[in-house]
Amino acid sequence: MLQITDLTHRIAGRKLFDQATVAVPAGHRVGLVGRNGSGKTTLLRMITGELHPDEGQIAMPLRWRVGTVAQEAPSGATSLLDTVLAADTERAALLDEAETVTDPHRIAEVHTRLAEIAAHAAPARAASILAGLGFDDAVQAGPCSALSGGMRMRVALAQVLFRQPDLLLLDEPTNHLDLEATLWLEGYLQRYPHTILLVSHDRDLLNRAVGSIVHLNAGKLEMYAGGYDRFETTRRLKLEHQAALQARQEAQRRHMQAFVDRFRYKASKARQAQSRLKALERMEPIAAVAEEPTIAFAFPEPEALAPPILTLERAAAGYDGRTVLRNLSLRIDMDDRLALLGANGNGKSTLVKLLGGRLDAMDGEVQRAPKLRIGYFAQHQADELDLGATALRQAMDVMPKATEEKVRSHLGRFGFPQARAETRIGDMSGGEKARLLLALMARDAPHLLLLDEPTNHLDVDSRQALIQAINDYPGAVILISHDPHLIELTADRLLLVADGTCRPYDGDLADYRKWLLSRGGNQDGRADGARTQGSIRKQERRTAAEARAALAPLRRQATDAEKRIAALEREKAELERQLADPALYGGASERVTDLQKRLHAVGRGIEEAETAWLEAQAALEDASASGTSG
């Protein structure tokens, strides 16, 4: 059992843990959740002994081997397979000893132990793990130095999985994985034979791979049974119950205090008043519910463009004369929501770069609408941020023609109010940096968003805010993500990037998951039986897209009315300022009359615009409600 008792720890004067206590039984798979910056990674570092708590203790069986992904990715000329095999230091040492030992008794002990740890099966097990994480036989035989940094981090993950420690600590393991590897990891963790403590913001992974959730909030650790969805429901009910108890107690306090205030000096009621006063003093207050602030952000609305906004006709793309994708034919309209499926290395990012104009077509045609603006998001862009600048300074640098007020308003859309906009980027969490990148990407109100793994480092609440922002956004979205929850709730069409091209995928993610896990489906990417069900879901996605398109004019009406109200309010304020100037009344009376008439007309205009806004909002609500009930 992993036992954490009265843990207290401070960083830079801020108390991350305040007498936190929790117990993780041996063999349990537990997800650790909490807002960005709440201390999840710090807790893992204390469990490994890298950090020491200020107070309290962390205890576990002495024989337990603790495993975590190495912070530095493996490199060098050693092959991937040998690198993973070397992670089991006991096996490596026994094999070396077996080559040189001469004592008969020790030879027997060495070979007995090798049999106990199934040393002969280790290469096959290591190869299976590497394959699950996306490395084919040829790559496994090659050197680690030939891989990118993200792929080498996968090798580091393979090392700790191969070791099978008694306590497996994983901190956002899917950040360097594609959807295919994420689904494989989910199944692997479900079968893991020892204890797991998993830090993740991936809802699907937390729903399927763990049996309990530990919530880190306000310095405390609290365990909930079940996956993430059950945790969320249980916690909401708990908070509602606590709020009801607190309200009931406050009402009881007011009633008792009113009796005391009324009768404490009346002889016939004095004893009862004193009794109630003592009861008030003994009453343990129920803490008011202190909910964490809600995260929300929104993409600015672009002006409409006539369809299509972008088309590919038998296009090809690649690098340095080498073709990666060919025969690409695709049409994109303003209301499209597309998600790209396919393993890393198949060309998803290449396709996105081609669409975004960051890569020229090697063949075929790419046609973009003349006024098309494209927003491109990729995680590597975090390296381009100026860590010494504030969010406001960085945004003003890329928005040189905008006023500071407009820049602050734009940052506010992405969860950076007045104080946070002044925060130094180097002091931000990974989630805040991701939201800043989204804000910078959307600065020109693009018509098309290209999102390449936008959820890395975002906590669960921020991911929900991103889902809402995408669904409210009237432009087109093309998405690459390892987060199935994000894809399922935002994408209307799925495209499979495989075999050097891109084609529509008629199934849904459940079908794709079945095919990946079984590899027994048709090689065109459809699992057996997916066609009929996939056609139904395709129609559902088409219906959702049509409903969103139908709502677009109403949203524009509401937005236009809001803009008109704001403009008229500014004009009204200016007219009132002029009419309040005493010097005005020393001149011609016609000027006063004209200003008063204009003020009256502006007042009527505001009323009309407000009526138009209310009608558009009511129509939107009615349309949304009928769409939901349908």
The residue that leads in pLDDT, 628 or 136, is 136
Residue 277 has pLDDT above 60, yes or no: yes
Give the tens place of pLDDT for each residue, 437-467: 899 998 999 999 999 988 887 888 888 888 8
Residue 542 has pLDDT above 60, yes or no: no
Give the tens place of pLDDT for each residue, 603-621: 888 888 888 887 877 777 7
Percent of all residues in the chain with a pLDDT value above 70, rounded to a whole number: 88
Residue 480 has pLDDT above 70, yes or no: yes
Residue 492 has pLDDT above 80, yes or no: yes
pLDDT the model gives residue 199:
92
Residue 520 has pLDDT above 50, yes or no: no
Q: At what angle do helices 530-579 and 509-518 cross, to 10 degrees?
A: 140
Neighbours of 90 (CB within 10 A): 13
Nearest-10 Cα torsion for 196, 201, 205, 208: 80
> Hey, CA dihedral for 110, 112, 117, 122, is it positive or negative?
positive
Mean pLDDT lowest among 328-342, 355-369, 504-518: 504-518
Residues pairing with 2 in the sheet: 24
Highest mean pLDDT among 9-23, 244-258, 321-335, 509-523: 321-335
Q: What is the mean pLDDT of residues 79-86?
A: 90
Q: pLDDT band at 623, cuts 50/70/90?
A: low
In whole angstroms, give the CA distance from residue 181 to residue 167: 22
Give the tens place of pLDDT for each residue, 159-207: 999 989 999 999 989 888 888 888 889 989 999 999 999 999 888 899 9
Spatial neighbors of 396 by CB under 8 A, at least 6 apart, are 402, 404, 407
Give the tens place of pLDDT for each residue, 103-157: 888 889 888 988 888 888 888 999 999 998 888 888 899 998 888 777 888 999 9
Q: What is the pTM of this model?
A: 0.68
Give the tens place of pLDDT for each residue, 568-583: 888 888 888 888 887 7
Upper half-sphere CA count for residue 562 (Cβ side, 13 Å):
8
The tokens describing 5, both together, are 């008792």
pLDDT the model gives residue 340:
92
Residue 433 has pLDDT above 60, yes or no: yes
Summary mean pLDDT of the chain = 83
pLDDT the model gives residue 528:
39
Mean pLDDT lowest among 476-480, 585-589, 623-627: 623-627
The residue that leads in pLDDT, 31 or 550, is 31
Q: pLDDT band at 332, cuts 50/70/90?
A: very high
| The residue type at 540 | E
- Detail the DSSP E strand segments found in 307-379: 310-319, 322-332, 337-341, 363-368, 374-378
Closest CA to 179 of 400, 354, 342, 333: 342
